[in-house]
Chain A
Amino acid sequence: MVSAIVVGSMAVFVIVGPWFSAFSYDFTDWSNLSVAPGLEHGHYFGTDTLGRDLFVRTLYGGRISLMVGIVATIVSLAIGISYGATAGYLGGRTDHIMMRIVDILYALPFMFLVILLMVYFGRNILLIFVAIGAINWLDMARIVRGQTLSLKRREFVEAAEAQGVRTPAILRRHIVPNLLGVVAVYVTLTIPQVILVESFLSFLGLGVQEPMTSWGALVKDGAEELESAPWQLIFPATFLAATLFCFNFLGDGLRDALDPKDR
């Protein structure tokens, strides 16, 4: 519950926050290069080596990170659900072959392929969304398929079939509502994974490009100025870790609530 509130306010904060600062994300304050946090000069989180306001940059980075998280999750959701539900509902040989493909893809080192993509096709945000979404659909497809398969065998679905209820109505009234809970759990668990992947790429310098930024890129910059300006690492790192923590915690809580057997 607390995590949900933190995640929610984090989202509001990164959207609204920048308005409360006098600086823009790419403004260079030549009089305050790499200053420590403080209120007197208006840089609440200090500035980076180029004199850019870290408060605003952290929030902008947050926007990018959360956006990547959500958009890529939607991409993976779309692919995963259609693939998984198809395999699960059709069953039989089709299912077998489709899942065998997933198994093969599963064994691939996807992070490296994404890096390859980034290297060869240039570094744009759209590609990041698609690439990351394309990795994460595998999990979603497996889960959705498993759920569909087990729902299809549940007696209330059989009862509806015996009743003569039409297939679309069975899907709408019986399958989908019972699928939603599980999907919700995995959405909350996929978002932090995606954010992690994005910040990993940005950390390597393969993600978001200057002057735009994301939490991963900020952590990278901060790590380079570690000894002289630790705040440059600490603020974005805290934001990143807190967000991941809350999403993980939320997903975990939801999963336990859904499946009391696990606790």
Chain B
Amino acid sequence: MLRYTLRRVLGAIPTLLILIALAFFMIRLAPGGPFDAERALLPEIEANLRATYHLDEPLPMQFARYLGGLVRGDFGPSFQYRDYTVTELIMTGFPVSLRIGLGAMVVALLFGVSVGSLAALRQNSRTDYTVMAMSMTGISIPNFVMAPILILIFAVYLGWLPAGGLGDGAIRNLILPVVSLALPQIAYIARLTRGSMIEVLRSPFIRTAKAQGLPQAKILLRHALKPALLPIVSYLGPATAAVITGSVVIEQIFGVPGLGRFFVQGALNRDYTLVMGVVVFYGVLIVFANLLVDLAYAWLDPKVKYA
């Protein structure tokens, strides 16, 4: 198990390097410099700025410098928020995003798995059809469409919940963002659970358990649940990526001061170091999530060998 873990961790390194390199060189190769957007600067001031940010060095040097910074947890200075480093900005925004993201994942898993299992157990019943129709709809409504609709209903018409902002950070401020972020995931996980549960319930070893006289509840818990949930475990990697991506729009819509919002602002303002910092940070997060999922899978499935 230890060797397996180590191999997996080492395997993630090339992915990270490629990600950082892609992001880095994409910026440097792009037409226009970071200071183009502002008023035309005097040449000497621009040269000065370039020197400050080491933009006058050859590309490989710059890349090496950036990598070195990353290892120390330093994402460089922000071009836009002159008084802050990117690291500081990330540390401000991330805890907020993390709360919403984790909340959405937990909600999605709880509801998705239970609703999906229910549909599988009552296959081809009215419950099943309703769940499937609703989840198909849920998958088809992007969360940036769902979020305004939820605001319209719950904040504007009913006035039950605040339309945006974090307020004092109370739970009621988080409900709408978490729900709109979770809904497509609930829908997807429900479909996934239903499919794999139906397949497991049809497998010969479930028939064996029935022939041995085990009661339905035990068959479900002891025999069916684990194999049925394995596909969900492997979906958790892509789900993390989807939730992170989704949080970018959701934070925008609800005006939540999270990392996603910094990202969009940075993107619109051409704040290169900030955008890149966030991409690298999220990239690491996603790669890490995939790694955890792989390890969890290996731990759950006796057939995966740790060789």
Contacts and interface: CB of A to CB of B under 8 A. Distances in A.
State yes or no: do A and B touch (Cβ within 8 Å): yes
Interface of A: 104-105, 107-109, 111-113, 115-122, 192, 196, 199-200, 203-206, 216, 219-220, 222-223, 226-227, 230, 233, 237, 240-242, 244-245, 248-249, 252, 262
Given A120-B30, A244-B139, 4 more contacts: A113-B26, A116-B23, A118-B267, A199-B142
Given A117-B26, A233-B149, A108 B141 contact: no
A263 B278 CA distance: 42
A107 B286 contact: yes
A115 B276 CA distance: 11
A108 B289 CA distance: 12
Which of B144, B156, B276 neighbours the largest number of chain A CB atoms within 10 Å of its CB?
B144
Contacts of A219: 144-145, 148
A112 B140 contact: no
B252 A204 contact: yes
A121 B270 CA distance: 11
Given A104-B15, A113-B22, A200-B249, A226 B140 contact: no
Contacts of A111: 241, 245
A96 B241 CA distance: 25
Chain B interface helix/strand/loop/mixed: helix
Interface in B18-54: 18-19, 22-23, 26-27, 29-31
Contact size class for B?
35 or more
Nearest to B289: A107
Nearest to B195: A262
Contacts, number: 121
Q: 4 tightest CB-CB pairs across the interface, nearest first?
A: A120-B30, A245-B140, A244-B140, A223-B148
B156 A227 contact: yes
A248 B15 CA distance: 31
A189 B22 CA distance: 28
B282 interface: yes
B14 interface: yes
26 contacts: A104-B18, A108-B286, A111-B241, A113-B23, A115-B263, A115-B279, A116-B279, A117-B26, A118-B267, A119-B270, A119-B275, A120-B26, A120-B31, A121-B31, A200-B245, A203-B249, A204-B249, A219-B148, A223-B147, A223-B253, A226-B151, A233-B148, A237-B148, A245-B137, A248-B139, A248-B140
A237 B18 contact: no
Nearest to B123: A263
B137 to A, nearest CB: 6
B27 A109 contact: no
With most chain A CB atoms within 10 A of its CB, the pick from B26, B147, B270, B282 is B26
Contacts of B142: 196, 199-200, 240-241, 244
A244 to B, nearest CB: 4
A121 B195 CA distance: 42
Nearest to B27: A120
A104 B14 contact: yes
Contacts of A245: 136-137, 140
